[in-house]
Amino acid sequence: MTVVIDRDEAVRLLTAGDVVAVPTDTVYGLAASLEREDAVAQIFSMKHRPSSVALPVLVDALSTIERLGVTLSPLARKLSEAFWPGALTIVMDAPTELARRVGSRADTVGFRVPDDELLRQVLAQTGPLVVSSANEHSAAPCHSAEEVLAAFGDADMLKAVLDGGDRSGVVSTVIHVHDNGWKILREGAIDVNEVSRVLA
């Protein structure tokens, strides 16, 4: 039975390798430590998400990405400075081993610094978390702890929910930054015209 927990317990469970639902600046997400491949695999299973659709990584700061061996391109750095913390996921080149850990078949990983103080406090203690919206693949995301419990409360793989109140945001915009420029992979909270203005 899934239970509702506080921040300290969320940190403990995530560090121990459990899957925990957490509030983000957009919607609720299913979270697992980047270091725990078994927990990451459970997110794929819970969401019925195709293994070929990579999961994004949330971090507390830009420096955390660099410590993972990722070098930000000039375009990625411009975007991060303009929109982080915020609802922009930047897909960028990453070491092969890191990319495979989140299900990416290319040597890329999507990163984001969320604009949510509670979640960044968790991230500062757990390190990078693999986080995907709390819903079955292609279904509507959960906006509250109650919706998460209704959707996943009977799932053995979801250990707990960190209740941060309602999260009624729009999912993040996803941009792939590459050698030849950039491409929108998903339109979301950040307007494409704003992205174009920053990268012009």
Q: Give, for all 200 residues of the chain, the pLDDT tens digit.
A: 678 899 999 999 999 999 999 999 999 999 999 999 999 999 999 999 988 889 999 999 999 999 999 999 999 999 999 999 999 999 999 999 999 999 999 999 999 999 999 999 999 999 999 999 999 887 889 999 999 999 987 778 899 999 999 998 888 999 999 888 999 999 999 999 999 999 98
Task: Measure the CA–CA gap between 18 and 65, rounded to whole angstroms.
Answer: 22
The residue range of the domain holding 87 is 3-199
**Number of domains, the chain:** 1
CB atoms within 10 A of CB 74: 9
- Compute the distance between CA of residue 109 and CA of residue 193 in angstroms, rounded to an integer: 23
- Which residues make beta-bridge pairs with 31? 20, 131
The two beta strands, 129-133 and 173-178, are unpaired
DSSP structural state of residue 182 = E
**Nearest 5°: phi and psi at 159?**
-75, -40
pLDDT score for 1: 63
For residue 186, the model assigns a pLDDT of: 94
pLDDT reported for residue 184? 95
pLDDT confidence of residue 154: 77
Domain with residue 139: its CATH number is 3.90.870.10
